[in-house]
A and B are shown apart, each in its own frame.
Chain A
Amino acid sequence: MGMWPFGHHDPSKPSMGRVLIVDDEENIRKVARLTLTKAGYEVIEGKDGADAIEALNSGENPLLVDVIICDIRMPKINGVEAISYFRSQYPSVPIIVQTGFPDLNLATSLMKQGVSEYLVKPVDNAKLVAAVAKAVEGREMFTT
């Protein structure tokens, strides 16, 4: 189950934005959660594509997610399927792919679908924060 609508957030700081991290590996979600929470983001989690889609749809206002970080190789609904769903349902929410597969063809095809970053694991924590910040900034420009 996803944790929508109550994500992890450091209440002492104003939220910089809300991030959905989708990865089947618990510790990868944990690293992203700890890193992004420290950087001021609110983090919600999905352990696979189906779980993430459920988490998004069970919220009161799905557009409150500012960026989605998504793995590719996952059970149930895989990343490619999940991303195409996110793009069709929430076209304004930027997507960052974070995967263990350095696949140039896949990266190109996902970028064409509007994915904003294709990060290959292992990803530096600072790089992830920078990618999220850039995506959130782009989204703010897009929505205002």
Chain B
Amino acid sequence: MGAEQSVNIAILGGGRGGTALIELFTRCHGIAITGIADTNPEAPGLRLARNLNIHATDDPVSLVSDPTVDLIVDVTGNPSMPALIEQHKSPRAEILGGTAAKLVWSLIQDERDLYEHLAHAEKLSTLGTFAAGIAHEFNNPLHMMLGFAQLIQDTQDPAEVQEYIQEIVKLIKHLSNMSTSVNLYARTSAQGEMVPVQIPTLLDEAVRMAKFSTILDEVTVIPQYDPVPDILAEPGELLQVFMNLIVNAVQAMNARGQLTLRTRVEQGSITVSVEDTGPGIAPQDLARIFAPFFTTKKSGKGTGLGLYIVDTIIRKYGGRIEPRSEVGKGTAFRIHFPVTGLSHGTRPSPQPATPASI
């Protein structure tokens, strides 16, 4: 199979098997789903397909007779289906059914378990860095508060006392704001339900949170948000995607440069882009960045799973991500999500700002 030549697959059966096949195949490069058929138009696999802009039909015959289909996967468990397929399929289409389909189904279950484990490992690794970052961001103001408080103890000068108290009050307000941000993040991350998500709001939150994983002091963040429709997603997953891309971008720039965040509607899809002014990615690396365990970071610095999980999450929502990079100039990651028919967010683009105030 050549890299450009994709295999066109027709799925018969919209139950758990068909749903799992869609989830797997949309994650795989080199596979295109021609469509999915089930006699029940409300089967979960058909609903998922419609959300992902994949052809969904209650007529298996029309699907299997499509001449572009290379492989028909039958997970209906219907004993009369094999004969029906044989009768209507194009001569070149191969069939995967019966025991072989069951075997594939159990392999998919295994693959899904493995992915869950990898995603969990990556989450723990990110969380470790993040927790250390939070501790650091709290320890600095605490240090200053302790210092000023002890200076108050040691002075008789009322003007000095006033000055230090003012600093302490400022620091307490700063800590309180940080605590609110972390709390908001915890709530967003834990939300496991699909809800309409305002992408610009989530991008801003990702920037605030990225501060705990990397240093943003010398990065100019330029938000350029055109109004875009909300998308239906688990906010925690999208936040993970945005934070990962932002932290990568900042690290690539060695914490100095411009980070441009854009949202816009382009050719019927919602485009989100994260652009840095870093050194860029070499073409030979660019082709591999989404592969699991691929990393250019020093050993112990990255798991090589970040972008793999980013890619997986985006595909889950029917989107795709494309990196564009020019060595010496920078890298842009563009994410395209399908428009799911939700209402337009009308949030205007704020002024360029540095995220120093959290």
Contact = CB atoms under 8 A, between A and B. Distances in A.
Interface of A: 24-25, 27-28, 31-32, 34-35, 38, 73-76, 99-103, 120-126
B140 A25 contact: yes
Given A27-B167, A75-B256, A125 B147 contact: yes
Interface string B278-306: 00000000000000000000000000000
Given A28-B144, A100-B137, A101-B136, A73 B215 contact: yes
B217 interface: yes
A35 B147 contact: yes
29 contacts: A24-B217, A25-B140, A27-B144, A27-B148, A27-B171, A28-B140, A28-B143, A28-B144, A31-B144, A31-B151, A35-B150, A35-B151, A74-B215, A75-B215, A75-B218, A75-B256, A76-B218, A76-B256, A100-B136, A101-B132, A101-B135, A120-B139, A121-B139, A122-B139, A122-B143, A123-B143, A123-B146, A125-B147, A125-B154
Nearest to A74: B215
Contacts of B137: 100
A124 B139 CA distance: 12
B145 A122 contact: yes
B142 interface: yes
A73 B140 CA distance: 11
Instruction: Say what secondary structure dominates the interface of chain A.
Output: loop
B255 interface: yes
A34 B215 contact: no
A61 B136 CA distance: 35
Contacts of A100: 135-140, 143
Interface residues of B, number: 24
Interface of B: 132, 135-140, 142-148, 150-151, 154, 167, 171, 215, 217-218, 255-256
Contact of B150 (A25, A101, A126): A126
B167 A75 contact: no
A32 B146 CA distance: 11
Given A27-B167, A38-B154, A122 B142 contact: yes
A73 B136 contact: yes
10 A-B pairs closest in CB distance: A31-B147, A100-B139, A121-B143, A100-B136, A122-B143, A121-B139, A122-B142, A122-B146, A125-B150, A27-B144
Contacts of B142: 121-122
Given A25-B140, A27-B148, A76-B256, 5 more contacts: A75-B215, A100-B137, A101-B135, A101-B139, A122-B147
Contacts of A25: 140, 144
B349 to A, nearest CB: 27
Contacts of A74: 215
A100 B212 CA distance: 12
Contacts of B147: 27-28, 31-32, 35, 122-123, 125
From A101, A122, A123, residue with most partner B Cβ within 10 Å: A122
